[in-house]
């Protein structure tokens, strides 16, 4: 029975949900109807359908214009040097460094602060609450699963768009430091003249950043890995633990909308329900882009280099203990530390400023493109992840 259930969710449901479903499109509504019918078919009638509002400002405006504006600022700095407005140069250079070096933090701050710029649209979260059998109020702990059901495609390959972001961050930071050092040497007479040719590379960088303006968003991806697979796993777990309730942990499963517009489903859920989840007793697991054909799934547990910021010390400790206990080769999953400066965004983003513990599970899938389809995912890898996550949640029920 268990094997057949694995097989069902890794084949039939993923196939059903593999169609373009950009937030606000007819495909999104079709996905919502499919999720509702599936929950009813599984006998899970007590789910909540919770509406929330969002706009496309973050995805269609901020992400497209942020890097080109950094390039434009570099050109202004060059021109202020040319016309010898050195006071203005210093001000603009400090601004450039801040916008570049702290670009990821600034964009995330804007993402959740200016949520009502533009036309308001409505989407829905689907919330399934499975209460523990032996719940005691004083010891109550929660495991919350996030999986988004919308999809998106970009004009450019995601790696190219990521490269533009990374180069703008590093290029803008290096350029600003370069300008400050040269001005310092000039004012203290270590150099007799400002040789502007050394700053000419700013024009090449600005042109490269400007390409981002043409990275239009489309509704051409089937969204198989991103994120039909995550929803399929979440529904499998909802079915399994609805029939086999955990002893001590409450399990809350949230199928989020408008993730591709700026993680707004997850933001709405945690803003609405944060009083229900204390930071010391609630742990979040995020499913996104599982089961690619690369024959490996990953979990993100930290970001940075030295020092590393560990997202979830408690969960990560239990996960390592669990994998050691089961044997390193039992599950095809590996830890992944997000490199410094990389803007990796999914439903964990609104959890970070609130300091909730979380782990993100994903794979190396061809997301945000027409290649994200049924031909480029592995049912076997998703089945393996289903087994892994079932066993891990049972382990957490015992240990937490």
pLDDT digits (tens, 9 = 90+) for 197-254: 999 999 999 999 999 899 888 999 999 999 999 999 999 999 999 999 999 999 999 9
For 212-229, letters b (16+ CB in 10 Å) and e give beebebebbbbbbbbbbb
Residue 104 CA neighbour count, 13 Å, CB half: 19
> By percentage, how much of the chain surpasses pLDDT 70?
96
The C-alpha atoms of residue 2 and residue 18 are separated, in whole angstroms, by 24
pLDDT at residue 5, as a whole number: 56
Rounded to an integer, the average pLDDT of 109-124 is 92
pLDDT at residue 252, as a whole number: 97
What is the DSSP pairing of strand 309-310 with strand 297-303? antiparallel
Q: In angstroms, how far apart are the furthest CA atoms of the chain? A: 81
**For residue 358, with 0-12 CB atoms within 10 Å meaning exposed, 13-18 middle and 19 or more buried, which class applies?**
buried
What confidence category does residue 173 fall into, taking pLDDT thresholds of 50, 70 and 90? very high
The C-alpha atoms of residue 181 and residue 192 are separated, in whole angstroms, by 14
The C-alpha atoms of residue 80 and residue 86 are separated, in whole angstroms, by 7
User: Which segments of 211-365 does DSSP mark as H helices, in order?
Assistant: 229-243, 264-273, 313-326
The C-alpha atoms of residue 393 and residue 400 are separated, in whole angstroms, by 10
Residue ranges of domains in the chain: 2-56+119-154+219-399, 60-109+157-214
- Mean of per-residue pLDDT scores for the chain: 91
Rounded to an integer, the average pLDDT of 149-158 is 91
The C-alpha atoms of residue 110 and residue 95 are separated, in whole angstroms, by 16
Q: What residues pair up with 52 in beta bridges, in sequence order? A: 123
The gap between the terminal CA atoms of the chain, to the nearest Å, is 28
What confidence category does residue 1 fall into, taking pLDDT thresholds of 50, 70 and 90? very low
Q: What residues pair up with 129 in beta bridges, in sequence order? A: 252
pLDDT at residue 296, as a whole number: 83
Fold of 2-56+119-154+219-399: Aminopeptidase (3.40.630)
pTM, whole model, 2 decimals?
0.92
Residues 6+ apart with CB under 8 A from 394: 246
What are the tens digits of pLDDT across the range 343-366?
778 999 999 989 999 999 999 888
- Measured CA to CA in angstroms, residue 189 lies from 86, 177, 199, 222 at distances of 15, 18, 19, 61
Closest by alpha carbon to 22, among 46, 45, 49, 54?
Answer: 54
Query: Do the Cβ atoms of 400 and 393 come closer than 8 Å?
Result: no
Which residue is associated with the tokens 């995020």? 286
The C-alpha atoms of residue 223 and residue 294 are separated, in whole angstroms, by 17
What are the tens digits of pLDDT across the range 66-107?
999 999 999 999 999 999 999 999 999 999 999 999 888 898
User: Which segments of 211-351 does DSSP mark as H helices, in order?
Assistant: 229-243, 264-273, 313-326
Q: What residues pair up with 255 in beta bridges, in sequence order? A: 126, 147
Query: What's the length of the chain?
Result: 400
Residue 290, token pair as written in the block: 């599982």
Closest by alpha carbon to 117, among 264, 254, 9?
Answer: 264
What are the tens digits of pLDDT across the range 42-75?
999 889 999 999 999 999 999 899 999 999 999 9
């Amino acid at each position: 029975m268990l094997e057949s259930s694995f097989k069902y969710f890794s084949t039939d449901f993923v196939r059903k949900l593999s169609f373009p479903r950009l937030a606000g499109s007819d495909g999104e509504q079709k996905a919502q109807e499919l999720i509702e019918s599936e929950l009813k078919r599984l006998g899970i009638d007590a789910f909540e359908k919770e509406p929330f509002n969002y706009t496309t400002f973050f995805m269609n405006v901020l992400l497209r214009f942020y890097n080109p504006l950094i390039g434009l600022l570099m050109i202004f700095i060059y021109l202020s040097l040319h016309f010898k407005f050195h006071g203005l140069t210093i001000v603009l250079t400090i601004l450039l460094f801040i916008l570049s070096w702290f670009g990821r933090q600034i964009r995330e701050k804007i993402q959740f602060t200016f949520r009502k710029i533009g036309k308001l649209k409505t989407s829905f979260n689907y919330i399934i609450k499975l209460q523990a059998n032996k719940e005691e109020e004083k010891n109550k702990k929660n495991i919350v699963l996030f999986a988004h059901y919308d999809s998106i495609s970009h004009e450019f390959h995601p790696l190219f768009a990521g490269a533009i972001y990374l180069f703008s961050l590093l290029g803008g930071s290096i350029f600003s430091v370069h300008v400050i050092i040269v001005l310092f040497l000039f004012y203290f007479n270590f150099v007799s003249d400002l040789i502007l040719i050394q700053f000419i590379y700013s024009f090449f960088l600005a042109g490269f950043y400007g390409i981002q303006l043409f990275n239009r968003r489309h509704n051409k991806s089937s969204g198989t890995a991103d994120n039909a697979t995550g929803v399929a796993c979440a529904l499998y777990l909802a079915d399994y633990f609805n029939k086999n309730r955990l002893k001590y942990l409450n399990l809350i499963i949230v199928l989020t909308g408008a993730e591709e517009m700026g993680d707004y489903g997850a933001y709405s859920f945690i803003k609405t329900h944060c009083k229900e989840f204390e930071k010391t007793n609630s742990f979040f697991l995020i499913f996104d882009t599982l089961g690619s054909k690369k024959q490996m799934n990953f979990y993100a547990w930290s970001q940075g280099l030295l020092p590393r910021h560990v997202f979830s010390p408690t969960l990560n400790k239990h996960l390592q203990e669990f994998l050691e206990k089961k044997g390193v080769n039992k599950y095809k999953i590996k830890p992944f530390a997000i490199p410094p400066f990389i803007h990796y965004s999914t439903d964990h983003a609104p959890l970070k400023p609130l300091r909730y513990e979380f782990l993100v599970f994903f794979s190396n899938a061809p997301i945000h493109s027409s290649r994200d389809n049924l031909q480029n995912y592995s049912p076997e890898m998703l089945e393996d992840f289903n087994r892994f996550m079932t066993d891990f949640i049972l382990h957490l029920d015992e240990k937490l």
